[in-house]
Every structure is written in structure tokens, then in C-alpha cells.
Amino acid sequence: MAILLTGGAGYIGSHTCVELLNAGYKLIVVDDLSNSKLNSMVRIKEITGKDFKFYKTDILDREALESIFVENSIEAVIHLAGLKSVGESVQMPLHYYHNNITGTLVLCELMKKYNVKKMVFSSSATVYGVPEYVPISEDFPLRAMNPYGRTKLMIEEMLRDLYHSDHDWSISLLRYFNPIGAHESGRIGEDPKSIPNNLMPYITQTAVGKLEELYVFGNDYPTVDGTGVRDYIHVVDLAKGHLKALEKILTSKGVEAYNLGTGKGYSVLQIVAAFEKTTGTKIPYKIVKRRQGDVASCYADPTKARKELGWLAEKGIEDMCRDAWGWQEKNPSGYEDVLQDRNTSFVF
């Protein structure tokens, strides 16, 4: 029996592949490479030395996805495939709703048809919108503020309805906070297609000289130094959270949401200082006006994941900075994919 991982070539997916393979799971990866490179798969094979299957497939392609269910004996699905840029989702809402929601719908219909009723879903802290206070626990009101966030919220609701219609389902909704960092080997990491929207890749690209300076979005928030506070979590800790959630859904039924965060908040300037100290680099920055839609402070209460999944983030901010830099320094142009054009599937 195998685990099907959608979106497995992406940033979080590639790190989840490594943890799954190292834990001895049989793995099938599905990704259309719309926001990732095939080279990530080559590097996963190199890191783990383990075999796995890769299908270059769009989850919206029902026929192609169905053939994967026919060819393989799938026990559970970890569903990460999706588009994730908040700004792009405002510009292209239909594209986001179609890809994220219809994609999940097609996947769930096939799971139902082939009696695979176990899913770990990558949701996001964005479903909390503007929290009334912090830390945020899973029972906070849900109110997404943009099309991307609404796709996550709608999918969560769809999956809850699915469970309520058939109690054989077992579903974990993982609400990630701010994943940063990379595998300690420096062989896999975050590889944004264009100028990064997120803080850490912007910092690493500034450190490596690809970008001139960091723009800090506002220093007049009610926080420790006026800059925005977030719960940054090492991507390897996050990947390990998927294994814990998988163990849970393999052994029990129900639908539950879990915050995957550290429970600690860091401001933008604290991150800049930690990065400079850990890596010995200098990050020139300029304070500019607030970015529309940003909240002042967002960090998790991760107690539920600790109690029910036995999961706790172990890595600190220095590990996150060191590993983010290790990846960027060794791969200044990302994966530079030579295999990108091979429109096919592989057994790695």
C-alpha cells in the first residue's frame, strides 16, 4: 500500500517526500510542475537513496489521475497540490477557485470511487483572517480575506461535509503558519518563480545579491518593534507534522484541524537580525508603507497538535535562517531544471 502525495515536487511537498521515504513509506508523487521543477525529484532520490514513483499529472485531468488510482494500491492521500499566491489569487480568482477547489473535488471523487478515505490536507493559517488576539487556537472563528484563503476555507468545509456524509473518512486539516528554511543538505528548498512575495526568500535573495534591498512593509503595527509578527516554522518540522497526521488518519476516523506552528512570534526586524547573525551576511532594508491585507500579529497555539498528534516543532529560528541560506547559497538560481521539458512520468 502506498501514500499518494499531490504537489510533492513543490517546496513543502519535496521536504515531505524526504520524511515519508526515510520513514519507510511507499511513495507516489503527483505534480503538474506548474510551480516546481522535476529536478527536485532527482534531489530527493539523491538525499534518501529510496525509490518512488513520480507522475507529471494535473489533478484536474480526471482520466490521468484515475489511471494512477487504477495502477497503484493507494492507502492514503496527502494533498498539497494547489496555487498559493495571495496577490495572484486577487488578480485571477477563477483560476484559483478552479485549480484548488475543482482539483480537490476531482481528487475526492476518485478517492471515494476507489475507496481511499484517508486524507491529510494542507490548509493555512490564512483561514483565521484577522485574529482578535494571539495565540490562535483551532476553534477561532474562520474568515478568509482573499480568494486564495477562501479556497482553503471552502475545501476545509467540503472535507467536513464529506466526513459528515460518510463516517468512514479520516481527514486531517493542517493549518500551516509560515514555513521557511530548507533541508539541511542544501539540496532542496524554496524556489520562487519570480520576485518572491514572502519574507524569507526575499531576504535570502537579497543576501545572495539577486535583489538590492528588502522592503519592510510598515513599522507602525502594535508589535514589539512596529513590524509584523509571524510564527515561522522550519519546513522540515512541518514535513514531520504530515507524518504524525498520517499516522493518526491511518489509525482513526474523523475530521480534525491542527495548527502547525511553533507558538512563537518573530517580527520582521527580528528575523532580519537573526539572519544576519546566523549567516554573517548584511541585509540592507528600507521601511515602506504597510502591505494591504497584512495583519499585525499571527502566531499559533500548537497545543492540539502536541496533544493529539504527538507533534512539536523542534527547530529554532537560527536553524531556519542557516538552512534557508544554505539552500540559497548553494543554489543561487534555484533548481535550474534541465529535465523540465520531459513530459512524462518516472520511477526514481
Q: Which residues are catalytic?
A: 148
Does residue 262 bind ligand WQD (CB under 6 A)?
no
Query: Which of 58, 75, 88, 319: binder of ligand NAD (CB under 6 A)?
Result: 58
Q: Which does 34 bind (CB under 5 to 8 A by kind): ligand WQD, ligand NAD, none?
A: ligand NAD
Query: Which of 3, 4, 5, 10: binder of ligand NAD (CB under 6 A)?
Result: 10
Rounded Cα distance between 77 and 121, Å, is: 8
Provide DSSP, 88-126.
HHHH-HHHHIIIIIIHHHHHHHHHHHTT--EEEEEEEGG
Q: Helix (H, G, I), strand (E, B), or coil: what is residue 65?
A: helix
Does residue 9 bind ligand NAD (CB under 6 A)?
yes
Site for ligand NAD in 65-84 (CB under 6 A): 80-84
Nearer to ligand NAD, 130 or 166 (CB): 130
Does residue 258 bind ligand NAD (CB under 6 A)?
no
Residue span 127-166 as binding mask against ligand NAD, x where in contact by CB under 6 A, dash where not = ----------------------------------------
Does residue 291 bind ligand WQD (CB under 6 A)?
yes
Q: Helix (H, G, I), strand (E, B), or coil: what is residue 301?
A: coil
Does residue 53 bind ligand WQD (CB under 6 A)?
no
Does residue 319 bind ligand WQD (CB under 6 A)?
no
Query: Which of 19, 27, 32, 47: binder of ligand NAD (CB under 6 A)?
Result: 32
Query: Which of 124, 172, 223, 297: binder of ligand NAD (CB under 6 A)?
Result: 124
Cβ-count burial 162-195 (b if 16+ within 10 Å, e if not): bbeeeeebbbbbbbbbbbbbbbeebbbbbbeeee
Does residue 268 bind ligand WQD (CB under 6 A)?
yes
Residues 6+ apart with CB under 8 A from 69: 110, 111, 113, 114, 116
What torsion do the CA atoms of 158, 163, 169, 175 make, to the nearest 10 degrees?
Answer: 50
Does residue 261 bind ligand NAD (CB under 6 A)?
no
Q: Which does 11 bind (CB under 5 to 8 A by kind): ligand NAD, ligand WQD, none?
A: ligand NAD
Alpha helical stretches, state H, the chain: 11-22, 39-48, 62-71, 86-91, 93-96, 103-113, 147-165, 199-207, 235-251, 268-279, 303-304, 317-330
* CB neighbours of residue 304 within 10 Å: 17
Q: Which does 120 bind (CB under 5 to 8 A by kind): ligand WQD, ligand NAD, none?
A: none
Nine-digit cell string for 102: 475543482
Query: Which of 22, 197, 270, 281: binder of ligand WQD (CB under 6 A)?
Result: 197
